Chains A and B, each alone.
Chain A
């Protein structure tokens, strides 16, 4: 076992552990500093051992570090050949997520003393989910063979969400798509995305190349996707889209359509399908824009001129329904951060930006980490996505390839849409930022994705290089 031990992964874990300890160390110091700001004596406070955090304060993050180390040991024992670069990246991200949640605990607007602890528990549950994916998916067979059960499960989940949203009757609340069980709240839409990808991958894998090669459907010289042959696939897509548009989860509808286009391209190899899909999207989007006021409001935020802020009037910015105040305040927070940030615990995080711990987590983090820190965060996401696609390329059979690529695409499109929304490049949507955003279902779903990717990489390595 020593020969096969995942030394590379362990080595990559060292710096994340140090980073997490550093942040946890800095938080109480920063909070102490903030309390002293009123006394005008902040420049004379000496660093003495009495104000330094004790081991007791560091316990939560030590727990996370031990958990990650145990995961490393377990995986070395059972799956030594799985990808060794994914977990340190993901572990660092989840750790930073827990840290930010802890930091936001004391903000008056949020005032939830257990935010960090709950996030930590979700991360631990997520790690267990990741491990169970590794153990359960011996041969990806049963994912592929029961695809209609997956499709049915997916539709039930969507119906559930829809019924609940209709009961709530208020589409403007930020959590109308959540199911609440006492203190926990789950978003079934997070799991739905994974189920849809599994179903698409299985279906496209079975649809032989002949169906796509038979280019009997043309619009002039351009091949059109044979939608009738794709039958169930189109039905699934249609149902999901209609339902999500119905409950005003535009972000989710966008995500599912994006995944559909990606997997269609990967399965058929024809870029013309994607172009046609995009055209259809733009036409429908334009119709939606004209019809629905709330869509117009969200797009209107994109046109706000940030440079000439003196010309803003309260009604256009802060008082319009579905108005731009979230995004604008996020941008203000970012500007406050500057290049190296205001420091964890030292910014205004969450105090004026609404839903700072979920939708606007990127700008919340950006204020405290600054431009440099945000580039590093985006870099980590890029590396995770690269690794995911690399696992897809190396996979030995079509289903594994489609599945890995589809799952990575969920991840990538999600990160893209919400980061762009925070930065006023796209209309803001309610999609959670993977691993950083507060929310149990998002963390568990993303850990399940990582677990499946790790298992695929393990199977691939075994096949290509043997058991030795």
Chain B
């Protein structure tokens, strides 16, 4: 075939491929969205269940929090001094957003949310998400909790 015909074919092929790619991305996106809405529907089907508790074992220098106090844990729980925290601890050594805990695939995870005094799981710093089991000690700032069912 002649060169100009060949070039014409190449040009058209380029445009077709560009649109094929766009279609492929859009399909990937819609599949993504579909999975997301399915997961959300499943999640909000039941009312937010309480999946566990944090029980204070050592309240440290806190004046208001007593050992033995129990806090409910939701599938996703934030702990801190800020008003939007699920577990609100009004202590000066607790940061606005101190700790995050969430429950997934049968395991709890604890992670520090960038706090000043740190979060520890069994005395290990929780800079990355650490898996926690029932009975583990979660330390938020200077308060120690035990993770319970």
Contacts and interface: CB of A to CB of B under 8 A. Distances in A.
B11 interface: yes
Interface in A18-38: 18-19, 22-23, 25-26, 29-30, 32-33, 36
What band does the interface of chain A fall in when counting residues whose beta carbon is under 8 Å from B?
35 or more
Contacts of B107: 466
B20 A15 contact: yes
Interface stretch (B22-30, B66-74, B140-148): B22-30
Interface stretch (B2-10, B45-53, B56-64, B86-94): B2-10
A376 B22 contact: yes
Contacts of B76: 463
Contacts of A346: 7
Contacts of A468: 104-105
B133 interface: no
What band does the interface of chain B fall in when counting residues whose beta carbon is under 8 Å from A?
35 or more
A383 B22 contact: yes
A376 B18 CA distance: 6
A85 interface: yes
A343 B1 CA distance: 18
A179 interface: no
A19 B11 CA distance: 11
Given A19-B17, A19-B21, A33-B7, A47 B28 contact: no
Interface in A444-468: 462-468
Main SS of chain B's interface residues? helix
Interface in A385-444: 386-387, 396-397
Contacts of A85: 25, 28-29, 32
A343 B26 contact: no
Contacts of A36: 3
Contact of B29 (A45, A47, A383): A383
B1 A463 contact: no
Given A42-B4, A340-B15, A466-B105, A26 B10 contact: yes
A466 B109 contact: yes
Nearest to A141: B114
5 A-B pairs with the lowest CB-CB distances in the bound complex, closest first: A466-B104, A376-B18, A141-B114, A45-B3, A15-B21
